[in-house]
Amino acid sequence: MWTVLKFDKKNLALLKQDLKSRLGEEYKIYIPKLRIQKFKNNKLINKDFNLLGDYLFCFHTNLEFEQNRNQLKFSKGLKYILEGTIESQKEIKAFISKCKKSENQDGFITRDFFDLDVYSKYKFSSGPFTNRIFQILSFQKNRIKILMGDIKTTIKNKEFLFTPA
């Protein structure tokens, strides 16, 4: 069963050790990550972010029992266990599979994760237009027509990373 845990970012290694000692070797942890490229002082800098902030998914077959979840409450590096995950297993599995499908070979979420809408506003996270806001006008096969200020242009579909503004 999947469980959502809120963790202390500084003590993630301690949490993993504690989970290993309490649950054994057969647990899984999934933290979806996003890599954003920014230009700073004419240099391209990569910044890695956890998509869910300080939350992670933990899978173990024994976590469906409340007594086993209660044993985890006092783990080092754990802030708390999110309640209601038993009823939301279908949604959690769907979200994790969507994240894993949109990962690149390095394990980071790509732009395919975000659903793009025509006439919605987005902000570039990579490339020469970093932090610029634009509006999507239409989709073509491998290109997107955008409006940035008063300028209409097309960009390649997979060349830039952008997020909803």
Domains in the chain, start-ordered, CATH in brackets?
2-110 (no CATH), 114-164 (2.30.30.30)
pLDDT of residue 92: 93
Taking the alpha carbons of 54, 49, 1, 96 in that order, is the dihedral positive or negative? positive
Look up the pTM and report it. 0.75
Burial 111-134 (b: 16+ CB within 10 A, else e): bebeeeeeeeebebbbbebbeeeb
pLDDT tens track for 109-151: 877 777 778 888 888 877 777 788 999 998 888 888 999 989 8
**Mean pLDDT value across residues 5-28:** 90
CA atoms within 13 A on the CB side of 98: 12
How far apart are the two ends of the chain, measured CA to CA in Å?
A: 34
Give the DSSP letter of residue 160. -
